[in-house]
């Protein structure tokens, strides 16, 4: 069955610290897509990254980086030198095939204090 | 501009009434989804549709109904059978090109309150 687990419910860091948000997934499909989204207090979901199952390259975008490891079914997200504006709830998500069921983890609430 | 529109932003419903939440997209996406989010909780899948005139139940479909008569539209009806409907509802769509999914685009959400 399809499942996404974000074991960290809440994380609190001080500005400029690095922080890693964990995501572990389960799927039987060989073709799947992984996503990270940010949800600020306003409620809208902001897309951060998409990864397909055939592309295990890690990605860096400014202070954000993602580590995709099929061997451990993990897709972790690291924020380097965190800032107060990074405070939000972050969701990891998984979809199977094309336009298939899209499910989300429980989310990790990140609080970055000045 | 292409996007996904949910309306209304805020909705109040009396107990025992059905209410319909609108979701429209002009992205030409085949797949559309409805989620429910409760305070401090993740997104739980209510229903999804991969193609017009077809839809599947998600994890919490009881008390909800949907239709997909047009590619652009995927309305959600919260029926009186839903015992605790107060929540934030999000609609999303995904397009596909060959074997590649795009990211899911989300609407701004509808906050439903039962009074």
pLDDT averaged per 10 residues in sequence order, chain B, 115 residues: 87 91 93 92 92 93 97 95 92 73 84 92
Residues of A in contact with B99 (CB under 8 A): 31, 98
Give pLDDT, residue B101: 62
Selected residues 49-68 of chain B with any CB under 8 Å from a CB in chain A: 50, 56, 58-59
Residues A79/A63, Cβ–Cβ less than 8 Å: yes
CA distance A94 to A52: 10
Give pLDDT, residue B96: 64
Nearest by CB to B42, from A50, A102, A104: name it: A104
Residues B23/B101, Cβ–Cβ less than 8 Å: no
Residues 6 or more apart whose CB falls under 8 angstroms from that of A69 comprise A56, A75
Give pLDDT, residue A100: 78
Instruction: Determine the 3-state secondary structure of B11 from DSSP.
Output: strand
Shortest distance, CA A26 to any CA of chain B (angstroms)? 16
DSSP A37: E
Residues of chain A with pLDDT under 50: none
Interface test with A, best of B92, B103, B110 (most A CBs within 10 A): B103
Alpha helices in chain B (DSSP H): none
Residues B74/B68, Cβ–Cβ less than 8 Å: yes
Residues A29/A97, Cβ–Cβ less than 8 Å: yes
**Phi-psi map region of B70: left, alpha, beta (phi>0 left; psi -120 to 50 alpha):** beta
* Strands, E assignment, A2-107: 3-5, 10-14, 19-21, 24-26, 32-39, 46-52, 59-61, 64-69, 74-79, 88-96, 102-104
Residues of B in contact with A47 (CB under 8 A): 103-105
Give pLDDT, residue A48: 93
Give pLDDT, residue A41: 87
Instruction: Determine the 3-state secondary structure of A40 from DSSP.
Output: coil
Q: Per the structure block, which two tokens stand in for A89?
A: 């709830």
Give the strand pairing for B110-114 and B10-13.
parallel
């Amino acid at each position: 069955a399809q499942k996404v687990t974000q074991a960290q419910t809440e994380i609190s860091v001080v500005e400029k610290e690095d922080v890693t948000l964990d995501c572990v997934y389960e799927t039987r499909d060989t073709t799947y897509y992984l996503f990270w989204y940010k949800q600020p207090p306003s409620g809208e979901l902001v897309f951060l990254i998409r990864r397909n199952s055939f592309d295990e390259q890690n990605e860096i975008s400014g202070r954000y980086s993602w580590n995709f490891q099929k061997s451990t079914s993990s897709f972790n997200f690291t924020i380097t030198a965190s800032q107060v504006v990074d405070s939000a709830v972050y969701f990891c998500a998984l979809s199977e095939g094309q336009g298939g069921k899209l499910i989300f983890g429980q989310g990790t609430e990140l609080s970055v204090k000045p | 501009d292409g996007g996904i529109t949910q309306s209304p932003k805020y909705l109040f419903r009396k107990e025992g009434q059905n209410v319909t939440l609108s979701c429209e997209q002009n992205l030409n996406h085949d797949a559309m989804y409805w989620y429910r989010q409760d305070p401090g909780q993740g997104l739980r899948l209510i229903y999804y549709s991969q193609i017009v005139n077809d839809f599947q139940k998600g994890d919490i479909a009881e008390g909800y109904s949907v239709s997909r008569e047009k590619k652009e539209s995927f309305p959600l009806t919260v029926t009186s059978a839903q015992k605790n409907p107060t929540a934030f509802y999000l609609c999303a769509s995904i397009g596909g090109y060959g074997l590649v999914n795009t990211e899911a685009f989300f609407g701004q959400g509808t906050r439903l309150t039962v009074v």
